């Protein structure tokens, strides 16, 4: 089962049935994702937990409905006129959460978090999208908008915002799973970045050392060694003996230790003499 399906399975078990206003709010969330232009409302899903959830919600509101199989999917239909929407108090945080939860159950999806972060809810019209965006903004959750050819969507691509969304709708176990994956993924990314950085620095050090050694060998081959001062000769010998050492390490090996910039200055002078 996918992460998205697991999340919906968890949400389908949340018990709000003693509170009719919350039940109505969640059904309203479903309706934001459906075509309500016809007399009958149709909801199609392959998720049996999801269809059972809507089944229970409609039973609580005493709305008659039909359920049948359509291929491998479940289809539930009911009359639009049977759902009477009283004024919902969207300022009530529980009501607002129920609306968002219903919308996510209706047409939401989450990409497997170990690949990338992407949560999306497809909505039937702009008004539905604006209503949902307004609710999410009230909980300081940032979602972006997407206009498709025949529908509208809002989506979230930031891991932290998706985690906040899951917590908002009540998918607490899914939040923990998501955060475990996110921490592991970001730790791996940080390690990879660090390794890449260290590898790049090592390559830079090795490449510089190769050029320096070539210059020193050129000086010896052309019998210019005596032109080097004792300080330059000492650095040159250390470089030949320690081709992998950093400038800082070479500086500490000197009879009179100096810093990285001092070693760099001496090696540059050696290369200048080699080029003369």
Average pLDDT over residues 248-272: 82
At 77-107, the pLDDT tens digits run 888 888 877 777 888 999 999 999 999 999 9
Looking at residue 118, its pLDDT comes to: 92
Looking at residue 191, its pLDDT comes to: 64
Q: Which residues pair with 145 in a beta bridge?
A: 154
Average pLDDT over residues 209-226: 78
List Cβ neighbours of 95 (8 Å cut-off, separation of 6 or more): 21, 22, 25, 88, 89
Domains in the chain, ordered, with CATH?
3-170 (3.10.28.10), 198-275 (no CATH)
What percentage of residues in the chain have a pLDDT greater than 90?
Answer: 28
The Cα 100–Cα 192 span in angstroms is 37
The Cα 101–Cα 25 span in angstroms is 9
At 37-93, the pLDDT tens digits run 888 988 888 888 888 899 999 999 998 988 888 888 889 988 888 887 777 788 899
pLDDT band at 201 (very low <50, low <70, confident <90, very high): low
What percentage of residues in the chain have a pLDDT greater than 70?
Answer: 95
Looking at residue 195, its pLDDT comes to: 66
Is 90 exceeded by the pLDDT of residue 208? no
Query: DSSP strand E in the chain: where?
Result: 40-45, 65-70, 73-79, 108-110, 119-123, 144-147, 152-156
Looking at residue 233, its pLDDT comes to: 79
Average pLDDT over residues 9-16: 92
Looking at residue 24, its pLDDT comes to: 92
Average pLDDT over residues 127-153: 85
Mean pLDDT of the chain: 85
The Cα 129–Cα 152 span in angstroms is 7
pLDDT band at 110 (very low <50, low <70, confident <90, very high): very high
Average pLDDT over residues 178-205: 72
């Amino acid at each position: 089962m996918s992460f998205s399906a697991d999340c919906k399975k968890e949400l389908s078990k949340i018990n709000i049935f003693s509170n009719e206003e919350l039940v109505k709010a969640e059904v309203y969330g479903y309706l934001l994702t459906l075509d309500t232009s016809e007399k009958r409302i149709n909801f199609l899903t392959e998720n049996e937990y999801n269809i059972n959830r809507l089944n229970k919600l409609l039973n609580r509101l005493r709305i008659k409905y039909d359920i049948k199989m359509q291929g491998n999917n479940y289809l539930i239909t009911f009359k639009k006129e049977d759902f009477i929407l009283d004024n919902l108090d969207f300022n009530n945080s529980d009501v607002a959460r129920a609306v968002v939860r219903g919308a996510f159950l209706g047409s939401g999806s989450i990409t497997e978090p170990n690949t990338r972060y992407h949560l999306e809810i497809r909505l039937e019209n702009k008004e539905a999208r604006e209503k949902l965006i307004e609710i999410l903004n009230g909980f300081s959750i940032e979602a972006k908008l997407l206009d498709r050819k025949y529908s509208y969507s809002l989506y979230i691509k930031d891991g932290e915002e998706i985690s906040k969304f899951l917590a908002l709708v009540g998918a607490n176990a899914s939040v923990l799973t998501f955060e475990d994956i996110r921490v592991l993924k970001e730790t791996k990314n940080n390690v990879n970045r660090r390794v890449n950085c260290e590898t790049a620095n090592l390559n830079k050090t090795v490449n510089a050392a190769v050029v320096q050694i070539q210059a020193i060998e050129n000086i010896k081959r052309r019998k210019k060694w005596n032109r080097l001062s004792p300080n330059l000769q000492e650095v040159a010998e250390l470089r030949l003996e320690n081709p992998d050492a950093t400038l800082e390490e070479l500086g500490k090996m000197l009879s009179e230790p100096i810093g990285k910039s001092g070693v760099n200055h001496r090696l540059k002078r050696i290369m200048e003499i080699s080029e003369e």
